[in-house]
Structure 1
Amino acid sequence: MKRLMICMTAALFGTAALASGPGESHKGGTAYLGNGAFTYEIFETAVEHADLEGCPAEFDPEAVFCRLTVAADMAHVFVFSYNGDQPLLAVKGYELGDGFLPF
């Protein structure tokens, strides 16, 4: 869990951000998280990732979509809602190795 928090912190603060103030959206500024939500729009721009065709079995494929990142010797599946501003719902970590994505 500690690794996951470190990776999420790095993803949020170690990359280019979107806005320089609430309501603004230009490159090189700070992305303010409305209502504390990390949305797919922010993730898409700021975090290097790969799109996944599916998500881990525990998530409803009709309700969510997933993206993959690799950091700190771990693979991380970011799970986003299709609803509203597409907020981040979960992050699931996997040890890197043969067949590390079991879905």
Structure 2
Amino acid sequence: MTRTTLLSLLPALLATSALASGAEDATHSSATSYLPNGAFTYETFEASVEHADLEGCPAEFDTDVVFCRITLANDQAHIFVFSYEGDQPVMAVKPYDLSDGFLPF
């Protein structure tokens, strides 16, 4: 798939994801979210960061114990890796330049 094709599909993917998430949340809370022990949990991420769900993760991560989401910012895709354990804290953030083959998984 070419870079142009990938870049043209990403806004639609993110818009669809945003609509799907927004459909469940009729109202958004304006309450401040505090991060206990500095942990950025999936619950906070889901409510505050526009993203798209991914079926997989980069090969270096074991999808039996983590799951991944993608965001776009500063001409990069960012893969957020969350643990399935406990409050599902973020375990890693892996950036990719927006170029051909930027998602090699």
TM-score, structure 2 normalization: 0.72
Deviations 1:54-77 (A, max 9, x none): 000000110000000000110000
Q: Which runs of 5+ in 1 are unaligned?
A: 1-25
Matched with 1:33 is 35
Matched with 2:96 is 94
The residue matched to 1:30 in structure 2 has which SS? Answer: coil
Amino acid at match of 1:47: V
Instruction: Show the 5 A alignment for 1:1-103.
Output: 27-103=29-105
Amino acid at match of 2:98: L
The residue matched to 2:44 in structure 1 has which SS? Answer: helix
The residue matched to 2:46 in structure 1 has which SS? Answer: helix
Aligned sequence identity (%): 72
Deviations 1:23-55 (A, max 9, x none): xxx811211001110000000010000000000
The residue matched to 1:43 in structure 2 has which SS? Answer: helix
Aligned residues: 78
Runs of 4+ with deviation above 6 angstroms: none
TM-score, structure 1 normalization: 0.73
Q: Which runs of 5+ in 2 are unaligned?
A: 1-27
Amino acid at match of 1:58: E
> Structure 1 or 2: larger helix share?
2
Amino acid at match of 1:78: F
